[in-house]
Amino acid sequence: MSLFGAWALSLGAVSASAAAPGRPDSTWVQLASLPEPLESPVFALAVSPADPGLLLVGTGSGSIYRSADGGATWTPAAKALGHGVLAIQFSPFKAGTVLAGTRGGLWKSTDAGVTWAKQASIPNTTVRSFGFARSLTLVGADGGLFSSHDGSTWSPYLSFAPLNLSAIAVAAVNDPPKLLAGADASRGDEALPLYVSQDGGTSWTNVKSLGSSTIVGAAAAGGVPPGGSNSRPLLVGTNAGAFISNDGGSTWGQISGLPTIDFNSVAFVANHADRFYVASDGGGTQAGGVWTTSDSGQTFRSLVAPIGSVTAMSLTAEETPTVYSATFRPIDHAVLLWSFHDTGGTPVPPIGGIPAAAALPATAGTVPAGVAPLSRLDLKGLLTAPEAPYLGLGLLSVLVLLAAVGLQFRRGREK
pLDDT of residue 365: 44
Any idea what DSSP says for residue 94? S
How many angstroms separate the CA atoms of 308 and 314, rounded? 16
pLDDT of residue 9: 35
Burial (CB < 10 A; 0-12, 13-18, 19+), residue 143, is: middle
Quick check: helix, strand or coil at residue 314?
strand
The pair phi, psi for residue 128, each rounded to 5°, is -120, -20
Any idea what DSSP says for residue 25? B
Specify which of 82-86, 180-184, 276-280, 356-360 reaches the highest per-range mean pLDDT: 276-280
* Contact yes or no for 327/310 (Cβ under 8 A): yes
Tell me: pLDDT of 2 over 60: no
How many angstroms separate the CA atoms of 247 and 249, rounded? 6
CA angle 33–167–224, rounded 5-degree value: 95
Domains of the chain, start order: 3-355 (2.130.10.10)
What are the distances in angstroms from CA 231 to CA 133, 169, 210, 221?
Answer: 12, 12, 21, 9
Question: Cis omega (within 30 of 0) on the bond before 225?
Answer: no
In this structure, how many other beta carbons lie within 10 angstroms of the beta carbon of residue 121?
Answer: 12
Percent of the chain at pLDDT > 70 equals 78
Tell me: pLDDT of 226 over 70: no
pLDDT of residue 380: 33
Query: What would the mean pLDDT of 116-131 be, rounded to a whole number?
Result: 92
How many angstroms separate the CA atoms of 149 and 163, rounded? 22
How many angstroms separate the CA atoms of 282 and 329, rounded? 11
pLDDT of residue 10: 38
Alpha carbon 373 to chain centroid distance?
Answer: 45
* Contact yes or no for 65/56 (Cβ under 8 A): yes
pLDDT of residue 415: 59
Confidence of residue 41 (pLDDT cuts 50, 70, 90): very high
Tell me: pLDDT of 116 over 80: yes
Which of 41, 36, 120, 21 is closest to 80 using CA atoms? 36
* Contact yes or no for 101/113 (Cβ under 8 A): no
How many angstroms separate the CA atoms of 252 and 28, rounded? 33
How many angstroms separate the CA atoms of 120 and 100, rounded? 13
Of residues 15 and 217, more confidently modeled: 217
Which of 168, 341, 164 is closest to 249 using CA atoms? 168
Which of 163, 68, 151, 71 is closest to 125 using CA atoms? 163
The pair phi, psi for residue 89, each rounded to 5°, is -155, 135
Output the pTM of the full model: 0.83
How many angstroms separate the CA atoms of 377 and 9, rounded? 71
pLDDT of residue 283: 80
Of 82-91, 354-363, 377-386, which range is least confident? 377-386
How many angstroms separate the CA atoms of 139 and 145, rounded? 6
Confidence of residue 312 (pLDDT cuts 50, 70, 90): very high
pLDDT of residue 406: 52
Burial (CB < 10 A; 0-12, 13-18, 19+), residue 134, is: middle
Q: How many CA atoms lie within 13 A of 174 on its CB side?
A: 13
Confidence of residue 359 (pLDDT cuts 50, 70, 90): confident
Tell me: pLDDT of 65 over 50: yes
Q: pLDDT per residue over 197-212, tens digit each?
A: 999 999 999 998 898 8
Of residues 265 and 15, more confidently modeled: 265
